[in-house]
Amino acid sequence: MAVPKHKTSKSKRDMRRSHQSLEAPSLSTCKECDEVKLPHHACPKCGHYKGKKVIEGKED
């Protein structure tokens, strides 16, 4: 198995990790109840998606 010849310096290690930060998930709001929700997902509060109710048993 290949083994690295030299220890990666703190500088090189940190340069590699500069791309690893997490991004905040994008958010959209429900047209029915104005609740914050994930885009392309039914609203978890009222169960609406694209103006139609797609999950039964939710309020509204």
Q: Can you give the binding site for Zn ion, defined by CB under 5 A?
A: 30, 32-33, 35, 43, 45-46, 48
Give the residue with the Cβ less far from Zn ion, 4 or 57: 57
CB 60 within 8 A of CB 32: yes
Write down the least CB distance from residue 34 to Zn ion, Å.
Answer: 7
Query: Residue 8 or residue 44: which is nearer to Zn ion going by CB?
Result: 44
- Residue closer to Zn ion, measured from CB, 15 or 38: 38
CA distances to 31, 32, 34, 53 from 59, rounded to whole Å, are 14, 11, 14, 10
